[in-house]
Amino acid sequence: MDWILKSQKKLDEKLLNRLKSVQSNTSQKSDPIPLLIRLTNEAKAKKITDLCSLTAAEKETHNISEIHFLAGRIKLENIRKLADHADVAMLHLDAPVKASLDVATPSVGGSYAKNAFGLTGKGVTIAVLDTGIHPHPDFVQPVNRIVEFVDFVQGRTTPYDDNGHGTHCAGCAAGNGIASGGKYVSPAPEATLVGVKVLNATGDGSVSTVIAGINYCIQNKARLNIKIMNLSLGVEAYTSYINDPLAQACESAFNAGILVIAAAGNSGPDGKVNSPGIHPRVLTVGAIDDRDTVSLSDDIKAAYTSVGPTIDGLLKPDLFVPGSNITAPISPNSTLTFQYPGLLVLNGQYMKISGTSMATGLCSGAAALMLQAYPSYSPQRIKLIMLQTIQVFNNENEARLLLQEVFKLTTSQ
C-alpha cells in the first residue's frame, strides 16, 4: 500500500481506487489490470517491454507511442515499476467507452447549402470512429465513398458493422439517400468516409482502442484527406481535460489539422458531459428535438442531452443540432436491428433513433460543407465560425447550428 500512496501523483483516480481494492484482496493480486500508459514527451521507450519485463499473463494491447501512449494488461508488481519509471508521465485505468434525416437535414441547413452554394461535402473525408460501417447503398452507389476501413476490434479488412450505430452516424453525416429514392439525404451526400471500428457488437470499447483509432487518423490524414473526426461515443469524465487521455489524444488530432466533433452524451441535464467532449478544442454537440418539423419555432433541447459545466468550468455542449428521431442507414442483422425492430424503416434499410450521436453525425456533415467551400480553413477557424451562430441565435431553443448563418459569416471573414 505504501508504494501506491507514494506514486499517487502518477495514478489517475480510477486506477488509484482499483489498485487499493486489489491490494486489499489477495485473490485479485495476480490478475492483470487494463492499463493505459501516458509517456513523457522526452520518453525513449517505444513499447512496454522497454519499461518493464512482462510475464506470460501480461501483454501489450496497443502501441500508440507516436502520441505518447501505450496500453496493456499489466499485473500489480509491474504497475509499481511503471509508476517509478522516468519515461512514464501518468498511468490510467483503461476505462470502458460506449457509443453515445428527411426532416433533420433541412432544419440544420443542409438543403439550403446545397441549393444556394452547390455544396455536398465533395472532396472532404470524414473519419467515423465507431462500431464500424456497413457498405450501405447510400455510401457505395453510384460510387463507393468508403475509401478505407480499419478494424481495431477484430482485425477484419472489409467494411462491416455488427452493431449498427456507426453506420447510422455515418449516414447522418454523409448518406446520399439513394436507397430511399432521395428521401433520407444527409447534409454531405458526396463526402468520402473512413470507417474506423473501435467499438464492438454491443457498442462497447476501451479508451486505448479509441486512441489507437485517433492515432490512425493522424497518421493517414494526408493520404486520405481526413478533415473531420466524428466521435459519437464517450466515457465518463472524472478529471480535467489536461489529464484525460482521450481528450489529450483528440488534442493531438486537432493540432494535426483535424476537426474533432464529439457527442456530449445522453445523461440528461444533471449528467456530466462525456470525454472527449470536455476538451475546449473539441466541438461538442448536444441534441435538440425538432418535433419532426423544419420550422425552428417549436424546437426544444432534447431532455437526454448531457449539459456542462465540465470539471474545468467549461460550458458544454458547444452546439445543439437535431438528434431526436433521426432516420438514417442501418446495418442489416446488427445488434440495433435485433434490439429495436420496431424502429426500422423502408424494409430495414433505415432506422429512426435518437441521441447526441445522431446530432454529432449531422454536425460532421455540416462541417464537411464548410470545408468544401473553404478547404484551407483550420479546425480552429471552422469551430469559431460555428460557435458564432450561437451568438446570432441567442435564446436556448435556437442555440444551434444553422448553415444559413454560417455561410453569411464565412463570406465576411
Residues labelled catalytic: 130, 165, 357
Count of C-beta atoms within a 10 Å radius of residue 411: 10
Farthest CA pair distance, the chain: 68
Describe the chain by its helix, strand, coil percentages, rounded to 5. 35, 20, 40
Give DSSP secondary structure letters for 185-224.
Answer: --S-TT-EEEEEE-S-TTSEEEHHHHHHHHHHHHHTHHHH
Which helix H or strand E contains 180, and what residues bound it? none
Q: How many CA atoms lie within 13 A of 100 on its CB side?
A: 38
Confirm if 69 and 62 have CB atoms less than 8 A apart: yes
Give 127's strand partners. 194, 229
Nearest Cα to 117, choosing from 377, 386, 374?
374
Contacts of 179 (CB under 8 A, 6+ apart): 136, 137, 138, 329, 346, 349, 350
Q: Tell me the C-alpha distance between 42 and 63, whole Å.
A: 17
Contacts of 146 (CB under 8 A, 6+ apart): 133, 135, 139, 140, 159, 192, 193, 194, 195
3-state class of 312 per DSSP?
coil
Handedness of CA 141, 367, 172, 250 (dihedral sign): positive
Give 129's strand partners. 196
Residue type at 370? M
